[in-house]
Structure 1
Amino acid sequence: MSFKKKMSLGILTGALGLTLIGGGTWAAFNDVETTNNYIAAGTLDLVVNPETLFDLSNMKPGDYITKTLTFTNNGSLAIDEILLNIDVEGWEDVLHGHLPDNGENTLEDFLNQFQVVLSSDVYDGFYSLAELSNLSDHKMTVEGEGVAALLPGESFDVTITLQFLEDDTRYPNSRLYEQNKYQGEGATIKLNFEATQMPGEEREND
Structure 2
Amino acid sequence: MSIKKKLGLGIASAALGMSLVGGGTFAYFNDTEVNNSSFAAGTLDINVKGNDTDNAIINVSNIKPGDTMTRNFKLNNTGSLNVSRVLLTSEYTQTGVDGNADFGDHIKVQFIDNKDKKTRVVHETTLKALSTSNVTDRDVLGWFLGGEEDGLRAGTSDDLQVKFEFVDNKQDQNAFQGASLQLEWTFEAQQTRGESR
Tell me the TM-score normalized by structure 2: 0.75
User: Which AA in structure 1 matches 2:160?
Assistant: V
- Structure ranking higher in strand proportion: 2
Q: 1:71 corresponds to which letter in structure 2?
A: L
Distance 1:154 1:16 in 2: 73
Counterpart for residue 95 of structure 2: 92
TM-score of the pair, normalised by structure 1: 0.72
Greater radius of gyration (CA): 1
1: CA distance, partners of 2:64 / 2:146 = 41
Contact 1:123–1:141, Cα closer than 8 Å, also in 2: no
**Residue of structure 2 equivalent to 1:105:** 100
User: Do residues 81 (structure 1) and 75 (structure 2) align?
Assistant: no
CA distance in 1, matches of 2:42, 2:121: 27
The one of 62, 69, 93 aligned to 2:66: 62
**Percent identity of paired positions between Structure 1 and Structure 2:** 35
Is the Cα contact below 8 Å between 2:85 and 2:147 reproduced in 1?
no
Show the counterpart of 2:7. Answer: none
- Residue of structure 1 equivalent to 2:123: 125
Deviations 1:68-116 (A, max 9, x none): 1111211111111111111213x23543xxxxxxxx124xx22111000
Following superposition, the deviation at residue 29 of structure 1 comes to: 3.0
Query: Gapped runs of 5+ residues in structure 2?
Result: 1-11
User: Quick check: 1:123–1:140 contact (8 Å CA) kept in 2?
Assistant: no
Match of 1:184 in 2: 178
Residue 191 (structure 1) shift: 1.2
